[in-house]
Structure 1
Amino acid sequence: MTPSEAGHVLGLSPDTVRVLCDKGRLPALRTMSGRRLVRRGDVERLAEERQRNARPKARGREV
């Protein structure tokens, strides 16, 4: 997947996907032309991880 496609799945910008790749959070491959590609399975794994780590929204106080 391209950073744009991965960003769409993750709800992130392509630039943020590139940063995640640079930091090693999302493994990426480089083509001969220098394009960055990520595996769909790695994107799905990260999406599940992000969903598990998402904090529940705060509820209003009940009286």
Structure 2
Amino acid sequence: MGRLPAPTRTEAAALGTAVLALFVGYVLVPDRTVQYGAWLVVFCVWMAWFVAAGARLLYDE
């Protein structure tokens, strides 16, 4: 098995976006609806990261 690729700026942005969404949902506006929306944002960011990381893994090598 090969080495994992180095983290990129896109991965840092995805992580920052997810953390920011959860911060808004749990600290700034602690409402159940906002928390649900925050988790939807986290899921969408994760899915976009997953597809981008998979494409990079498949096509960059």
TM range (shorter): 0.3 to 0.5
* TM-score normalised by the chain length of structure 1: 0.35
The structure with more radius of gyration? 1
Higher helix share: 2
Give the TM-score taking structure 2 as reference length.
0.36
